[in-house]
């Protein structure tokens, strides 16, 4: 089974900072060896100035400040037995995250929440949305959770939401890779109101049986990897029920596939995975349906 050896940690030192890195140490059990730190200097901030053209001094100062901060973090990582690398680039954050993730061959991208939003809600920033739309890698929308002053292991109790699609299959592969860092995995499927409206009572019974069978197979596979696992078949609204299930079972992380519905299609039809990522109180890992990198 593939391991999660390398992760990309893009930061502007506001949305994602060192406590997040500490929380990710837990991935060592899943094979984590190296963290690549990325700081992107937005080109519009330092370039196209009518007088100074490209403001090299400002750019160099920003890069140096980032390097010093990363150097400090890297010391901590060495103490933890992890390798690290810091990259500072000028460009657009979205493009550079994709470019560096391809160049460094990372296994997962970490993304933060946007500032200045209510604490009860994560707002997926333009950069996160852009990365989600274009990457083939899993993206973890990180939510920092502490209990009694201690950072909670975000991978301890995983909720895996599946609709049995090929993308959900890719998400399940990721869950198996995360399994060594977890103590329990809840496999969840939500039968929606639409399913109930479209089918007869017998057909619904059949569907329930089919879903339970598929989830049962996943549970067995996870148990085979030495992870405790349970299946939960729910009925109602995907976003509401996944979030409710997350609360009921005190899960620390949600993993689900995202079908690539973005922009106008998302505004019109909605995207359950994006809503879950926005409203969840815990971290959410979204696995895209794309298979290849653009870079």
Partner 1 sequence: MIFNGKIKTLVLTLFFIMAGATLATASGGGGHGAGLGEQLSLYMGIPFAGILLSIALLPLVAPSIWHHHFGKIAAFWGVSLAIPFLIMYRLDALYEIFHIYLADYIPFIILLWALYTVAGGILFTGSLSGSPVVNCVLLLIGTLIASWVGTTGAAMLLIRPFMRANAWRKNRTYQIVFFIFLVCNIGGSLTPLGDPPLFLGFLKGVPFFWTMKLLAPMLVLAAILMVVFFLLDTYHYRKEEGSPPESKEKLKIEGLHNLLFIGGIIAAVIGSVELDKMLHHATVHVWRVELPIANVMRDAMLVLMGVLSLRTTKKVLREKNEFSWFPIVEVAYLFAGIFVTMVPVLLILQAGSKGEMAFLTNAVKEPVHYFWVTGVLSSFLDNAPTYLVFLNTALGNFFAGVEPPVAIDSLIKTKEIYLLAISCGAVFMGANSYIGNAPNFMVRSIAEEGGVAMPSFFGYILKYSLVFLVPSFVVITYIFFM
- Candidates 2, 18, 19, 45; binder of partner 1 (CB under 8 A) is 45
52 in contact with partner 1 (CB under 8 A): yes
DSSP letter, residue 107: S
Query: The tokens of 248 are what?
Result: 């009921």
Is the Cβ of residue 134 or residue 189 nearer to partner 1 in the bound state? 134
99 in contact with partner 1 (CB under 8 A): yes
Smallest separation (angstroms) from partner 1 to the CB of 127: 10
Q: Which x/- pattern over 265-294 shows residues binding partner 1 (rule: CB under 8 A)?
A: -----------------------------x
Is the Cβ of residue 10 or residue 154 nearer to partner 1 in the bound state? 10
Q: How far apart are CA 274 and CA 124, in angstroms?
A: 8
Q: Which stretch binds partner 1 (CB under 8 A): 69-77, 91-99, 135-143, 157-165?
A: 91-99
Smallest separation (angstroms) from partner 1 to the CB of 50: 4
Query: The tokens of 198 are what?
Result: 């479209």
Q: Evaluate whether 284 touches 192 at the Cβ level (below 8 Å).
A: no
Smallest separation (angstroms) from partner 1 to the CB of 115: 11
Query: The tokens of 22 are what?
Result: 């500490």
Is the Cβ of residue 51 or residue 200 nearer to partner 1 in the bound state? 51
- Candidates 6, 26, 134, 186; binder of partner 1 (CB under 8 A) is 134
Q: How far apart are CA 142 and CA 253, in angstroms?
A: 9
- Candidates 1, 2, 18, 49; binder of partner 1 (CB under 8 A) is 49
Chain position carrying tokens 């995907």: 238
Q: What is the CA radius of gyration of the chain?
A: 20
Instruction: Count the helix, strand and coil residues of the chain and give each as a percent rounded to the nearest 5.
Output: 45, 25, 30
Q: Which stretch binds partner 1 (CB under 8 A): 44-52, 234-242, 265-273, 281-289?
A: 44-52
Q: Which residues contact 5 (CB under 8 A, 6 or more apart)?
A: 31, 32, 33, 34, 107
Smallest separation (angstroms) from partner 1 to the CB of 239: 27
From residue 201, give the alpha-carbon distance in Å to each of 147, 190, 198, 215.
Answer: 44, 17, 10, 21
Q: Evaluate whether 258 touches 271 at the Cβ level (below 8 Å).
A: yes
Smallest separation (angstroms) from partner 1 to the CB of 290: 13
95 in contact with partner 1 (CB under 8 A): yes
Q: How far apart are CA 85 and CA 67, in angstroms?
A: 10
180 in contact with partner 1 (CB under 8 A): no
Q: Which residues bind partner 1 (CB under 8 A)?
A: 42-45, 47-56, 90-92, 95, 98-99, 134, 294-295
């Amino acid at each position: 089974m593939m391991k999660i050896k390398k992760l990309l940690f893009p930061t502007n030192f506001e949305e994602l900072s060192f406590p997040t890195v500490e929380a990710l140490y837990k991935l060592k059990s899943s094979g984590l060896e190296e963290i690549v730190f990325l700081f992107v200097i937005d080109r519009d901030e330092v370039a196209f100035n009518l007088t100074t053209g490209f403001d090299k001094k400002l750019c160099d100062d920003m890069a140096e400040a980032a390097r010093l901060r990363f150097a400090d973090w890297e010391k901590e990582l060495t103490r933890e037995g992890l390798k690290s690398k810091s990259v500072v680039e000028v460009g657009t954050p979205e493009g550079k995250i994709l470019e560096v993730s391809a160049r460094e061959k990372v296994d997962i991208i970490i993304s933060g929440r946007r500032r200045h939003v209510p604490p009860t809600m994560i707002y997926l920033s333009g950069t996160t949305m852009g990365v989600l739309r274009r990457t083939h890698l899993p993206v973890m929308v990180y939510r920092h959770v502490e209990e009694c002053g201690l950072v909670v292991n975000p991978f301890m109790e995983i909720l895996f939401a599946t609709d049995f699609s090929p993308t959900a299959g890719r998400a399940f592969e990721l869950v198996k890779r995360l399994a060594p860092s977890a103590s329990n995995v809840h496999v969840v499927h939500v039968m929606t109101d639409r399913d109930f409206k479209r089918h007869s009572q017998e057909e619904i019974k059949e569907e329930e049986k089919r879903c339970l069978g598929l989830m049962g197979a996943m549970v067995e596979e996870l148990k085979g990897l030495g992870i405790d696992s349970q299946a939960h078949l729910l009925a109602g609204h995907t976003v509401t029920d996944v979030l409710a299930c997350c609360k009921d079972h005190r899960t620390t992380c949600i993993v689900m596939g995202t079908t690539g519905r973005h922009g106008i299609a998302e505004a019109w039809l909605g995207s359950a995975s994006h809503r879950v990522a926005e409203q969840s109180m815990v971290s959410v890992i979204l696995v895209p349906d794309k298979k290849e990198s653009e870079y």
